[in-house]
Amino acid sequence: MPDPNPAVLDYLLTRRSRPAKTLTTPVPTAEELMPILTAGLRVPDHGKLEPWRLVVVTKPAMARLADLAEARARALGGNEEKIAKGRGQFDQGNLAVVVIYSPKAQEKVPDIEQLLSAGCVCLGLVNAAQAAGWGACWLTGWVSHDRPFVEAAFDLAPQESVMGIVHIGTETAVPPERPRPDVAALTRWMTE
């Protein structure tokens, strides 16, 4: 017989990411962040490979990353919009957890399962932060996928990549509800 947890189900049915630009201080202390990180890492991890690692970015590091993003955008010949987009999340950010996909070379667990596990860490961190009372948002953008930027910013090894940058802070606004997927239209039932 199932043992329902209505509070968790209600949370999952109503959760919404908070736009990073609406998050402010205070942010979790290192002590407050540890249970969020611990919960965020409780994800499917076939073979117990731990194909991910975390980089916690605090406010002082945000300024360096903003400057690095601007320099990289300018080197690419980016327009002011690209420069602003690259700088934006770091200029406005106060605390973020960067989830690094760090696949392990072995034969048992396919790369796709390792990749999915790292993606689960991003969502796990958002859910854990919100469950702890903080606002959170999972971002990517060009700064997450530009190889020279991520190598310089987060000291990535050649096989690693950024799965997401999870911003965490105090909410200043609750976002309005948005249209959600039509479950019936997207679901096929196989009965035989």
Does residue 17 have a known ligand-binding role?
Answer: yes
Q: Is 87 annotated as a binding residue?
A: no
145 known ligand binder = no
Q: Where are the beta strands (DSSP E) in 91-147?
A: 95-101, 135-139
Q: Which residue type, as a one-letter code, is found at position 85?
A: K
Q: Is 144 annotated as a binding residue?
A: no
- The DSSP output letter for 47 is G
Whether 15 has a binding-site annotation, put simply, is: yes
Hey, which bits of the chain come out as E strands? 23-24, 52-58, 95-101, 135-139, 161-171
Nearest residue to 138 via CA among 33, 26, 23: 23
Rounded Cα distance between 108 and 19, Å, is 38
Task: Please say whether the beta carbons of 166 and 96 come within 8 A.
Answer: yes
Give the distance, in angstroms, between the CA of residue 154 and the centroid of all CA atoms in the same chain: 14
| 138 known ligand binder | yes
Residue ranges at the known binding site = 15-17, 42, 46, 138-140
- State the binding site for FMN: 15-17, 42, 46, 138-140
